[in-house]
Structure 1
């Protein structure tokens, strides 16, 4: 994320990237999203930042975690 907006929390920006990808079909329902480390590397953020973003998206109903397998887009993501 070379174009980080320093006025907004970075984890929220990372979460927004994932939501945009869900909405545009990059991550369709049922598919695995990148791991915390993969997402951190791709976006150029700390792994703790991507971990917080993914945790937030699970809490908001966008993603579901399967222990030992990964994090997946829910079948029916919320409408916002």
Structure 2
């Protein structure tokens, strides 16, 4: 993954996963990659990967099932146009 130096890495990975949700790669109900899988794919730290998942949950895009994983709850809101 090529990084934009002026944008925090967690935001870039968040945007990547949000795009995958939006495009249907991860449809509602689908399990998202674990923090470890995100680390392996992107090279970010485990703390940063956990933040990405936390931010997705806080945005309402994902929910956590303790002991199971994080799942897509809905598609991102997009302005009508």
TM-score (norm 1): 0.92
Kindly state the Cα deviation for residue 77 of structure 1 after the two structures are TM-superposed.
Answer: 2.8
Could you list the runs of 5+ residues in structure 1 that have no partner in the other structure?
none
Cα contact 1:4–1:10 (8 A) shared by 2: yes
Cα contact 2:21–2:76 (8 A) shared by 1: no
* Equivalent position of 1:53 in the other structure: 52
Whichever of the two has the greater Rg, that structure is 2
* Secondary structure of 1:71's aligned partner: strand
For 2:23 and 2:76, the matched residues in 1 are separated by: 14
For 1:42 and 1:68, the matched residues in 2 are separated by: 22
Moved over 3 A (4+): none
TM-score (norm 2): 0.91
Could you list the runs of 5+ residues in structure 2 that have no partner in the other structure?
none
